[in-house]
Amino acid sequence: MTAELPKRYDPAELEQALYNAWEEQGYFAADPESDRPAYTIVLPPPNVTGSLHVGHALTAAVQDTLIRFKRMTGHEALWLPGTDHAGIATQMVVERDLARRGEPGREELGRDAFLEKVWEWKATNGSRIQEQHRVLGASLDWSRERFTLDEGFSTAVTEAFVRLYEEGLMYRAERLINWSPGLKTSLSDLEVDHRDSPGHLWHIAYPVSGSDERLVVATTRPETMLGDTAVAVHPDDPRYAHLVGKTVELPLTDRQIPIVGDGILVDLEFGTGAVKVTPAHDFNDFETGKRHDLPIINILDEGAHISLAGPYFGLPVAEARKRVVADLEAQGLVVKIEEHAHSVGHCQRSGAVVEPRLSLQWFVSTKPLAERAMQATRSGETQIVPKRFESTWYHWMENIQDWCVSRQLWWGHRIPAWHAGGQVFVARSLEVAQAQAQAAGVDPSELVQDEDVLDTWFSSGLWPMGTLGWPEETPSLKKFYPTQVLETGHDILFFWVARMMMMGIHFTDKAPFHTIFLHGMVRDELGQKMSKTKENVIDPVDITNEYGADALRLGLLLMAAPGRDLKMSVKRIEGYRNFLTKVWNATRFAQTYLGDCQESDWDAPAGATEQWIRSRLADTQHKVKEAFDAYRLDEAGHAIYHFIWHELCDWYIELSKRPLRDGSADESAAARAALADALSGALRLLHPFCPFVTDALWPALPAFMRESDSLCLAQLTFDAQRNLDSEAQIALAIEAVGLLRGLRGQMGINPREPLSVRLQVSDPERLGQLDSAARLLVDLASAADVVTELNTAEQPRGWAIATGEGLTLLANLAGKVDIAAETDRLTGEIAKNDKELNKCGGKLGNAKFVERAPEAVVAEERRRLAEFERRRDELRAALDRLAELEL
RNA sequence: UGGCGCGUAGCUCAGUGGUAGAGCACUACGUUGACAUCGUAGGGGUCGGCGGUUCGAAACCGCCCGCGCCAACCA
C-alpha cells in the first residue's frame, strides 16, 4: 500500500513521470528470444517533418491499446517506431526554411550542401513527433526506432531495387507520366488529386486542307493545339467519313495534320465528334498517337511554360491559353464556347496543376506483385477489417498500372543505377557497378550515378521487413515477421498498405501482416476535414494538456467504429475525463478499506452482492475479449465504461458501504475481497485504453494482488465464470430499488424519508431471492422496514403501488398521499401497461404467429401477457382502493 | 458515370429478424463521509420515404430522396 492518493485526479501531475519510469524500466522492449508468441505492429512512420495531429493520436491510441492488451495476455508484444524521410514534404519544408532565413536556396547550394542542410534540419526538428507519442503513452520499443534513410534501412531499399531490376520487374522507359510543374518532378498516379473544376469547352474550327470545309474540334485545353499532330474522328461517323485520310491546316502554325479514324478515343456523342490529338500532353492522345504512329510534339518545359519557339514562347499555360483563344477568335475560328465542368489533376503536395509529360523514368511492373497480394487476401492469409474495404482493394489491384518510382528530387534514396556509354548498370554498390561496366567494356571511371531518388512510398513499402532486419535473416525478423496487424487510416490503403503487401510478399513469400485494420478520418465537430486554412484543426497536444492523454485516448477509441469517420468532440473528451475522475475517486474510496485487506479475507463467505459484482466483471471480461477479437475497441471500451460506472460505482460500491463499515468480521472481509477483485479487474481491463491513470491507481491494490510493479506487465485473464443466480437476485433487488425511488420521485416524497415497504412476487421460488432486495431497499432507498411476501396477500389501503417484472412494491404512504395526483399516476401507469398488453395480446391473437414463430418466442410472449395482465389487475385494484379512500 | 458508406432522441452515434438503446444536452429534486468533473428521478423517437419478403423488419430485398467518401481517359 502506498501513500494515500491525492484527492483530485490531475493527469498532468502523473502522466509524464509515469512514462519516464516505464521507459527507464524497459517495459516495452521486445525480446526476440522470448518463448511467448509474438505480436507485432509497426507504427506507420510519421513524416519526419510532422507534428502530431489528431489522426496520429487515433492511430497511436488504437495500436497502443491492441499492443498493451496483447502484452497483458501472454504475448511478446512489439510495437516498432520510426519516421519517414518523406522526400517531397521534407525537401519543401527545408527549402522554405532556407528562404525564410534568407540563406542560399537549393539550386545555389547544390546537391551535397543542400542534403547536409536537410540532415541538420532533421537533427534539430526531427524528433518532435516521437516526444508527442510519449506524451500519449505509446508503449513503443524505442530501442528499435528506425528512420527510412538510416544505413540499414537504405540497404534494404537498394537490395529491393536491385532484385526487382534483376528479375525484370524494374525498368527504365520513356513514358508519359504525371509531372508536377511546381516541384519539377514526376509523380505516381496516386499522388495526383483530381478535383472537379469549372471550365470551358472550346469549339475550334480547323480548315480542311484544299477545301472550304472546316472540321470543328472540341477541347478543354485550347493551348495544347500547338502540339496537335492529328485530329481523330470516329470511323463510323457519317458526318466525317469523307474526311478520314485527309489533312487539316493547324491554325496558328504552318503545319498540316492528318485526320484519322479512331474508335477508341472518340465518343460519337461527345462534343463535335472530332478530337484534336496531342500525344505529348494527354494520356489518351499518347495512346492514340501510338496507334496511328503520330509524331509527338512537346510544347511545354518542365515548369509548364510554352517551350515552342514563336509568339507564345515562355508563357505559362494559363496565359498561353488566353492568347491562343484570342488569336483564334481573331481569325474567326472559335465557333462556340460552352461551360464545362471537368476534373483537373493537381499535385498533392504543391497544389500545382499536373501536366502529363513525356520523360525517361524508372517503373515497377506491378501486375505480378498485385496478383500475389490479391491471392493473399483471397486465401485469408491477410484479412482486411472492416471487410467492405476488400471490394476497393480488389478493384484497385485489378486495375493497377505500372508504378513510376523515380523522382527528380534530392532528398531520398538515390537510385542505385550508374550510367556510362549509353548503358545502365544497376548494382548494390558503385564497386559492383564498376565491375559490371568493366565487363561490358565501358570505362568504369565514366560512371555517373542516376540523379533521381526513389518515391518515398517505395521505401516505406519495405517498412515491416526492413525495420526488422531484412535482407538479413535476423532473430527479430524470424520472431516478429510477419507482423500481426497493420493499422492505419483508410486513406493510405493504396499508397502504403498495398505497396507493403506487394513488396513484402514478393521478397519474403509471406504477407507482411495477418490483418489490415483500417480506421476512418478524424473530422472536426461539424464533420469537416480539418485543415489549417479552415482553422478548424483540433490539436491533440492542447487536449492532452487540458484533459490528459488517457481521456483523449479513451475518447478517440470510443468514438471510432472501424473504418468509419469520426467527429472529434471536445465535449466528449471532457466526459471521459470525468469518467476517469470517477475511477480515481472510486479507487480512493476502496483504498480506505483495502489497507486492512488480507489474503484471508478471501476465505470469508461471499454474499449475493459479492458474487454478483464478480459475475458482472466476468461477463465484462468476456465481452471485452470478444470485442477485441473482432477489432471492436469501441465496444470493448463501452463495456468497461459501463461496468465501472454503472455496476461497480453505482451499485457495488454503494452496497459495500454498510458491510465495510458496520458488517461482521466475515461480512466486511467478504466485501473487501470483492471490492479488491472488482477494482483489480477494472483497472486491468481499462489499462490498455488508459494506461496512465490505471497504473497510477495500481498501487492502491493490496501488494499480494499485484504480480508486477506496473500494470504494464500485469496479466489479463478471461476464465472467470459467471454466477447467474446472484445476477438474477441482484437484478431483482436493483429493480425493487428503482421502483421505490421512482415512487418517491413521482410523488414528491423526500428520498431520505423512511417508508415501510412490502415487496411481493408472484413466483414462490423467487420469494427466497428477495433477501438482497430487502437489504438494498433499506441501504439504498431508505426503506424503514421491508416485508417480503407472495402477492396473493391482501393489499393494504393507503399504500402506493409500483409494479415491475414479476414484482410488486408497496410503500406505506398513509396520510401522505395526494389522492388526485395518485389517481393520475395510477391511471397513467395503467394506460402504459395497457399499451404493452394490447401489443402482446395482438401478437398472440394472430394464429400465424402462434403457429409459425419459434416455440420459445411464443412462450415468452405468453409469459409477458400474463405479466401485463397481473399488473393491470393490481393497478386497477389499487385505483379502486384509492377511490374508496376518497369516499 | 461507377463503387462504397451514411440517414435511429435536440446533438453525436451504437444497435444485422423477436419488449427501440448509450453519451451529451434538457427538466425536477438532492451536497457532513469516494466523487457536484457528482447523485436520484423524469421528459423526449411514424428508426429518411415508398413497396416487397416474413407470423414478425430499424435490421433482409427493390426503388426513390438527401448527404458524404473514393475511383474515374468523355476531348
- The shares of helix, strand and coil residues in chain A, as percent rounded to the nearest 5, are 50, 20, 30
Q: Return the closest-CA partner of residue A243 out of A265, A269, A216.
A: A216
Give A582 CA → B38 C1' in Å.
9
Q: Is A36's pLDDT higher than 80?
A: yes
A646 touches strand B (CB under 7 A): yes
Q: Which nucleotide is nearest to A634 (CA to C1')?
A: B14
Q: Which residue has the higher pLDDT, A809 or A524?
A: A809
Residue A382: its pLDDT value, please? 94
A857 touches strand B (CB under 7 A): yes
Distance from C-alpha of A703 to C-alpha of A1, rounded to nearest angstrom: 6
Give A184 CA → B2 C1' in Å.
33
Query: If 0-12 CB within 10 Å is exposed, 13-18 middle and 19+ buried, where does residue A534 land?
Result: exposed
A49 touches strand B (CB under 7 A): no
A266 touches strand B (CB under 7 A): yes
Other beta carbons less than 10 A from residue A718's beta carbon: 13
Q: Is A344's pLDDT higher than 90?
A: no
Residue with CA nearest to B39's C1' atom: A650
Average pLDDT, stretch A358-385? 92
Which bases of chain B are under 7 A from a protein CB atom? 3-6, 12-15, 18-19, 22-24, 28-30, 33-35, 37-42, 54-56, 68-75
Give the DSSP H/E element, type plus range, for residue A759: strand A755-761
Q: Is A842's pLDDT higher than 60?
A: yes
ipTM associated with this complex: 0.95
Give A537 CA → B66 C1' in Å.
28
Distance from C-alpha of A253 to C-alpha of A186, rounded to nearest angstrom: 30
* Protein chain A, residues 540-559, with a C-beta closer than 7 Å to any atom of nucleic acid strand B: 559
Give A419 CA → B25 C1' in Å.
69
Q: Which nucleotide is nearest to A491 (CA to C1')?
A: B70
Please give the span between the terminal C-alpha atoms of chain A, in angstroms, as a whole number: 66
Average pLDDT, stretch A553-568? 88
Give A519 CA → B69 C1' in Å.
14
Distance from C-alpha of A517 to C-alpha of A832, rounded to nearest angstrom: 46
A168 touches strand B (CB under 7 A): no
Average pLDDT, stretch A615-635? 93
Q: Which nucleotide is nearest to A564 (CA to C1')?
A: B5
Give A390 CA → B53 C1' in Å.
29
Give A192 CA → B60 C1' in Å.
40
How does DSSP assign A848-877, residue by residue? HHHHHS-HHHHHHHHHHHHHHHHHHHHHHH
Residue A538: its pLDDT value, please? 82
Distance from C-alpha of A164 to C-alpha of A430, rounded to nearest angstrom: 18
* Protein chain A, residues 476-535, with a C-beta closer than 7 Å to any atom of nucleic acid strand B: 491, 527, 529
Give A831 CA → B46 C1' in Å.
20
Residue A828: its pLDDT value, please? 87
* Protein chain A, residues 122-141, with a C-beta closer than 7 Å to any atom of nucleic acid strand B: none
Report which residue type is found at A638.
H
Average pLDDT, stretch A453-477? 95
A578 touches strand B (CB under 7 A): yes
Distance from C-alpha of A251 to C-alpha of A272, rounded to nearest angstrom: 18
Tell me if A62 sits within 8 A of A384, measured CB to CB: no
Residue with CA nearest to B23's C1' atom: A572
Cis peptide before A471 (omega within 30 of 0): yes
Residue A194: its pLDDT value, please? 84
Average pLDDT, stretch A573-591? 95
| Cβ-based neighbours of A478, under 8 Å, separated by 6 or more | A32
A243 phi and psi angles, rounded to 5 deg: -95, -20
- How many residues are recorded in chain A? 887
Distance from C-alpha of A346 to C-alpha of A193, rounded to nearest angstrom: 5
Distance from C-alpha of A540 to C-alpha of A58, rounded to nearest angstrom: 10
Distance from C-alpha of A134 to C-alpha of A112, rounded to nearest angstrom: 34
Percentage with pLDDT > 90 across chain A: 66
Q: Is A95's pLDDT higher than 80?
A: yes
Grid cell, residue A522, equals 478524424
Average pLDDT, stretch A252-256? 90
Q: Which residue has the cell 502506498?
A: A2
Average pLDDT, stretch A729-756? 90
* Protein chain A, residues 598-637, with a C-beta closer than 7 Å to any atom of nucleic acid strand B: 635
A670 phi and psi angles, rounded to 5 deg: -65, -40
A195 touches strand B (CB under 7 A): no
Alpha carbon A317 to its chain centroid, in Å, reads 40
Residue A887: its pLDDT value, please? 63
Give A843 CA → B51 C1' in Å.
24
Q: Which residue has the cell 526476440?
A: A32
Give A867 CA → B59 C1' in Å.
28
Q: Which nucleotide is nearest to A593 (CA to C1')?
A: B34
Report which residue type is found at A374.
M
Residue A1: its pLDDT value, please? 47
| Cβ-based neighbours of A722, under 8 Å, separated by 6 or more | A615, A618, A619
pLDDT, tens digit (0-9, with 9 covering 90-100), for A299-322? 998 888 999 888 999 999 889 999
Strands (E) across A183-240 are located at 185-187, 192-207, 214-219, 230-233
A586 touches strand B (CB under 7 A): yes
The two beta strands, A214-219 and A406-407, are: unpaired
| Cβ-based neighbours of A24, under 8 Å, separated by 6 or more | none
Q: Return the closest-CA partner of residue A613 out of A581, A654, A664, A583.
A: A654
Averaged confidence pLDDT in chain A? 91
| Band of pLDDT at residue A243, cut at 50, 70 and 90 | confident
Half-sphere exposure of residue A418: CA atoms within 13 angstroms, side-chain side? 21
Buried b / exposed e over A312-339, threshold 16 CB at 10 Å, is beebebeebbebbbebbeeeebbeeeee
Q: Is A470's pLDDT higher than 50?
A: yes
Give A557 CA → B62 C1' in Å.
36
Q: Is A2's pLDDT higher than 60?
A: no
Cite the DSSP H helix spans in A548-653: 549-559, 570-594, 608-629, 633-642
Average pLDDT, stretch A130-147? 95
Give the DSSP H/E element, type plus range, for residue A179: strand A170-180
Average pLDDT, stretch A43-68? 92
Q: Which nucleotide is nearest to A342 (CA to C1')?
A: B74
Tell me if A117 sits within 8 A of A109, measured CB to CB: yes
pTM score, whole prediction: 0.93
| Cβ-based neighbours of A607, under 8 Å, separated by 6 or more | A659, A667, A670, A772
Q: Is A535's pLDDT higher than 80?
A: no
Grid cell, residue A661, equals 463499515
Q: Return the closest-CA partner of residue A234 out of A214, A251, A217.
A: A217
Residue A265: its pLDDT value, please? 87
A13 touches strand B (CB under 7 A): no
A581 touches strand B (CB under 7 A): yes
Percentage with pLDDT > 70 across chain A: 99
Tell me if A768 sits within 8 A of A725, measured CB to CB: no
pLDDT, tens digit (0-9, with 9 covering 90-100), for A224-237? 999 999 999 988 88
* Protein chain A, residues 325-354, with a C-beta closer than 7 Å to any atom of nucleic acid strand B: 340, 342-343
Residue with CA nearest to B24's C1' atom: A572
Classify residue A352 by its DSSP letter.
P
A391 touches strand B (CB under 7 A): yes
A544 phi and psi angles, rounded to 5 deg: -65, -35
A216 touches strand B (CB under 7 A): no
| Cβ-based neighbours of A434, under 8 Å, separated by 6 or more | A444, A447
Which of A189-193, A364-368, A483-487, A645-649 shows the lowest mean pLDDT across its residues?
A189-193
Tell me if A332 sits within 8 A of A190, measured CB to CB: no
Give A622 CA → B14 C1' in Å.
19
Q: Is A811's pLDDT higher than 70?
A: yes
Query: If 0-12 CB within 10 Å is exposed, 13-18 middle and 19+ buried, where does residue A527 land?
Result: exposed
* Protein chain A, residues 740-769, with a C-beta closer than 7 Å to any atom of nucleic acid strand B: 741-742, 745-746, 751
Residue A168: its pLDDT value, please? 95
Residue A310: its pLDDT value, please? 87
Residue A132: its pLDDT value, please? 93
